[in-house]
């Protein structure tokens, strides 16, 4: 699990970060744009985007971002018996799958923005939809 942000300028709905989780086995990416990176936003993401769709994860690997190692996240993981694993500090490759997914999503966002300059964003597919279509093709 990782976070892309701070995105500037923010979207029209004031989303300025993206929370992402990658299944290490299937490489499926779940992502959600958020206005803030609070512990509660991350807990909501885990509940709605991971647990409700795929069931209880055995473990979640993150970098050592303060929002991922907060008391609230630690408490949720302890209550639900989810192992929280942190990658080695200052060594992005330790959380390589998440970093790789971030790179793909960033590239898709850049291409979308170049393509729609001056056009209406409402008609643009979400980056996660574009990535999934690319994987299926």
Q: String of b and e for 56-68 (b: at least 16 CB within 10 Å)? A: ebeebbbbeeebb
d(CA 74, CA 97): 22
Q: CA torsion sign, 86 to 92 to 94 to 96? A: positive
What pLDDT tens digit does each residue of the chain (137 aa) get? 888 777 777 677 777 888 888 887 888 888 888 888 889 999 999 999 999 988 999 999 888 778 888 999 999 999 999 999 887 666 555 566 666 777 777 777 767 666 655 544 555 556 566 566 555 44
The pLDDT value recorded for residue 133 is 58
Torsion of CA 112, 15, 19, 88, to 10 degrees: 100
d(CA 18, CA 117): 21
Task: Locate the domains of the chain by residue range.
Answer: 2-55+96-136
The pLDDT value recorded for residue 45 is 93
The pLDDT value recorded for residue 34 is 87
């Amino acid at each position: 699990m990782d976070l892309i942000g701070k995105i500037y300028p923010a979207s029209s709905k004031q989303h300025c970060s993206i929370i992402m989780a990658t299944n290490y086995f299937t490489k499926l990416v779940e992502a959600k744009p958020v206005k803030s990176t609070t512990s509660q936003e991350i807990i909501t993401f885990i509940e709605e985007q991971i647990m409700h769709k795929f069931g209880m994860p055995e473990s979640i690997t993150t970098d050592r971002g303060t929002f991922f190692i907060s008391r609230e996240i630690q408490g949720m993981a302890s209550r639900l018996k989810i192992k929280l694993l942190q990658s080695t500090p200052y060594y992005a490759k330790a959380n390589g799958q998440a970093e790789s997914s971030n790179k793909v999503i960033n590239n898709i966002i850049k291409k979308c923005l170049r393509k729609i300059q001056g056009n209406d964003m409402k008609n643009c597919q979400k980056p996660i939809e574009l990535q999934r279509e690319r994987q299926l093709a």
